[in-house]
């Protein structure tokens, strides 16, 4: 017998609070390949940016907000990537977040406003990683 259970909003919120309570567990990466993430994307699908000054950022604090039918998870502060010196043009299409413990892809986002050019010292991109977990049984 197969049955489907509904996750109570409080339980989903508690689960997400626990999952995102470990400081610096998740690394934010920019990707430079012209790729559109799909549900079964893996880390190998992404090519990290490599412009001068680029390094993976960690998110220290996540905010988990209960919604009517799920939860929203958002980084407390924007993550800013800044180029430190001029270099050949590199285009950035989006970002992905990797779980540093399991070494697995958590989420990815291709920005519809991109790609963003990185070529000159001071070029930068600020992102506010946010995602939502919704119940498939919408009210």
- Judged by DSSP in three states, 45 sits in helix
State how many domains the chain has.
Answer: 1
Residue 133 burial (CB count, 10 A): 17
pTM: 0.82
Before 96, cis peptide (omega within 30)? no
**In this predicted structure, what is the pLDDT of residue 66?**
76
Residue 2 lies in a domain: no
Residue located via tokens 């980084």: 75
**In this predicted structure, what is the pLDDT of residue 8?**
63
Residue 3 lies in a domain: no
- Judged by DSSP in three states, 100 sits in coil
Residue 15 lies in a domain: yes
**In this predicted structure, what is the pLDDT of residue 119?**
98
Residue 36 lies in a domain: yes
**In this predicted structure, what is the pLDDT of residue 102?**
87
Residue 139 lies in a domain: no
Range of the domain at 84: 9-134
- Judged by DSSP in three states, 44 sits in helix
For 47-50, the CB contacts below 8 A with 24+ separation are 49/81, 49/90, 49/92, 49/118, 50/90
Q: Give me the residues of the chain with pLDDT under 70, please.
A: 1-24, 135-139
Residue 125 lies in a domain: yes
């Amino acid at each position: 017998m197969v049955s489907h259970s509904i996750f109570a909003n409080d339980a989903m919120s508690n689960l997400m609070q626990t999952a995102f309570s470990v400081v610096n567990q998740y690394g934010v990466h920019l990707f430079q390949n012209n790729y559109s993430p799909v549900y079964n994307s893996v880390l190998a699908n992404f090519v990290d940016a490599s412009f001068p000054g680029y390094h993976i950022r960690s998110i220290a604090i996540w905010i988990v907000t209960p919604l009517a039918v799920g939860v929203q998870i958002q980084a407390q502060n924007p993550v800013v990537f800044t180029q430190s010196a001029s270099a050949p043009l590199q285009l950035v299409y989006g970002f992905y977040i990797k779980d540093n413990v399991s070494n697995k892809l958590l989420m990815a986002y291709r920005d519809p406003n991109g790609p963003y050019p990185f070529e000159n010292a001071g070029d930068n991109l600020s992102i506010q990683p946010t995602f939502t977990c919704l119940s498939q049984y919408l009210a």
